[in-house]
Structure 1
Amino acid sequence: MQTTQSATGTELADERHGDGRPLILLHGGMAPREYWDPVVPHFDDFAAIIPQRPGFGTCLDDPEETSADEVLDREADYVRTLVDGVDGDPILLGHSYGALTAIEAATDAAVEAVVAYEPAVLPERFREEADLADRMERLLEDGHRREAVKRYIEQVLHPEGIDDLDAWLAEWPVWPDCVALAEEVIRMNRAVERYRLPDRLDVDAPALVLTGTDGPDFLRKSARAVHRAFPHSRLVEFDGISHSGPAEAPELISAEVDAFLRA
């Protein structure tokens, strides 16, 4: 792990692999930085930088001090600190909430390109009815911490439904340790629920927006909306790939990213 001091004095932690053009990999949701382990070997011509998201590890001294309104700004500032600390303009590759963070960071950072896999952006009608943060908070207040996190998993990771959630959780590498992150996940979800995608994103760098046919329909719609909002963007949809596309099909995703960057 390598540490960097932010402008506010917070210690930021990240892993670094390889040499070459800097590539910052931003994980999403409740995924740990290990989410990118299957992906990194396919980017051996790059210097991969994998940060530990603030509040999801050692780099945020007191996550309880951070409000929902500050979560996205805090993480975008964190990414900008990483951008300022590398040689040259890096490529930002984000998944889900990490993709949203990459987009926000790129509005005020010198980056070579932005690659966003199914950014955590809610379509307007979906956003108006979203209440996941409130439902999780009520469960947490009633002492049902595990159930609160399960609601997130059901709605975000398995919106199409799942027959046996407990069996799936038993095989999920981050369960049950991720239950400790319930408060941070609520703040993150509230930030997503409040985020409004502008008609035009103030990002000069070229963008590649990725989505999969097996992911949630609302995220596929959002991917198209984000693509339209970027001034310079390409949209690619993968057949038979889910919301976990980068980890699920790393060779396919990395090949598309490589072709985009070469072009």
Structure 2
Amino acid sequence: MQTVPSADGTSIAFEQHGEGPPLILLHGGSSPQYWKPIVPRFAEDYTVVIPHRRGVGESGDSEEYSLDRGVEDVRAVIDAVDGEPVLFGHSFGGLLAIETARTTSVEKLIVYEPAVLVGEYREQADLASQMQARIDDGDRRQAMKFYIREVMHGGDIDDLDGWLAEWPPWPDIVALTENIARINRAIEQYRLPDSLDIDAPVLMLTGTEGPPHLQDGIRAVDDALSNRQLVEFEGVGHGGPTEAPDRVTAEVRPFIDGEENPVPESGD
């Protein structure tokens, strides 16, 4: 484990696996362990770098948090690694990757269902406050269940407890409840610009079973970009990189390696 100071002095930890050009994986509302199925698929050819988000894992924390602060943390890790990296972000990590790539030089950008809220959903979003109300009532587990129902399942699942019983991060993820509530505040405050000035090629990934509001968000990001590809995975949900690591890798590898015109599963 290595650490680097962010702009405000907070210590940001990051793991490194393998050797080669840097591939930085940014986790969303889960822990850095989210990327465990992906690491061995790239570590033979790349230096896979996994930052621990501020307040998670081995990283330090601060009383205040914002999207800008999260971007500063990612920049600090980029400055600490050797070479211009490929950024691959999932969910909130995808939003961090997008915002980092707007102001920092990266080789390529990959995002799986970035946490971008648009339209009426954004105007009415109150996930953070509803989580906080449950936290204030002393029920952190219910706050996390509420988050998972909304973000992983679009608010619609018949047997959440049964699903959670088979979901590896549960119940350890309850420890991140307060941290996840605050990143949702940052997500709800973010407004996608009409155009995203990102020089690097962008690969966007989504699943047909992901929550509708994040499918709307990634298509809005698609409209805001110029140099991009969009790939949709049939039958895959919001946890695509861990649900279907082989299928995701089969799309990501050609994109990173520079193979011309990879054939997507679907999309354009």
TM-score by length of 2: 0.90
Q: Distance in 2 between matches of 1:172 and 1:250?
A: 16
Q: Which residue of 2 aligns with 1:134?
A: 129
1:125-159 per-residue CA deviation (whole Å, 9 max, x = no partner) reads: 11011111111112222222221111111111122
The percent identity for this pair of structures is 54
> C-alpha displacement at 1:21, in angstroms?
1.2
- What stretches of structure 2 of length at least 5 have no aligned partner? 261-268
Q: Which residue of 1 aligns with 2:205?
A: 210
> C-alpha displacement at 1:206, in angstroms?
1.1
State the number of aligned residues.
257
Q: Which residue of 1 aligns with 2:59?
A: 59
Q: Which residue of 1 aligns with 2:110?
A: 115
TM alignment of 1:128-167, pairs within 5 A: 128-159=123-154, 161-167=156-162
> C-alpha displacement at 1:180, in angstroms?
2.9
1:21-76 per-residue CA deviation (whole Å, 9 max, x = no partner) reads: 100001111x21111111112213111001111112231234xx11xxx4211111
The 3-state SS of whatever aligns with 1:4 is: strand
Select the residue among 83, 88, 97 that pairs with 2:92.
97
Q: Distance in 2 between matches of 1:33 and 1:191?
A: 19
Q: Check the 8 A contact 2:3/2:11 in 1, yes or no.
A: yes
Q: Which residue of 1 aligns with 2:228?
A: 233
Q: Distance in 2 between matches of 1:6 and 1:243?
A: 29
The range that moved more, 157-166 or 84-93, is: 157-166
The 3-state SS of whatever aligns with 1:254 is: helix
1:62-112 per-residue CA deviation (whole Å, 9 max, x = no partner) reads: 4xx11xxx4211111111111111222100000111000000111111100
Structure 1 residues 239 and 170: alpha-carbon distance in aligned structure 2, compared to 1, 3 A threshold = closer
The range that moved more, 70-79 or 206-215, is: 70-79
Q: Check the 8 A contact 1:107/1:202 in 2, yes or no.
A: yes
Write the letter of the residue equivalent to 1:192: I
The 3-state SS of whatever aligns with 2:50 is: strand
Select the residue among 173, 176, 196 that pairs with 2:168.
173
Q: Which residue of 1 aligns with 2:13?
A: 13
1:158-204 per-residue CA deviation (whole Å, 9 max, x = no partner) reads: 22522332233333333333223222211111111111110111211
The 3-state SS of whatever aligns with 1:23 is: strand
> C-alpha displacement at 1:245, in angstroms?
0.8
Q: Distance in 2 between matches of 1:34 and 1:146?
A: 20
Q: Check the 8 A contact 2:152/2:237 in 1, yes or no.
A: no
Q: Which residue of 2 aligns with 1:252?
A: 247
- What stretches of structure 1 of length at least 5 have no aligned partner? none
Q: Which residue of 1 aligns with 2:28?
A: 28
The 3-state SS of whatever aligns with 2:66 is: helix
Q: Distance in 2 between matches of 1:241 and 1:97?
A: 18
Q: Check the 8 A contact 2:209/2:237 in 1, yes or no.
A: yes
What is the alpha-carbon root mean square deviation over aligned residues? Answer: 1.5
Q: Which residue of 1 aligns with 2:190?
A: 195
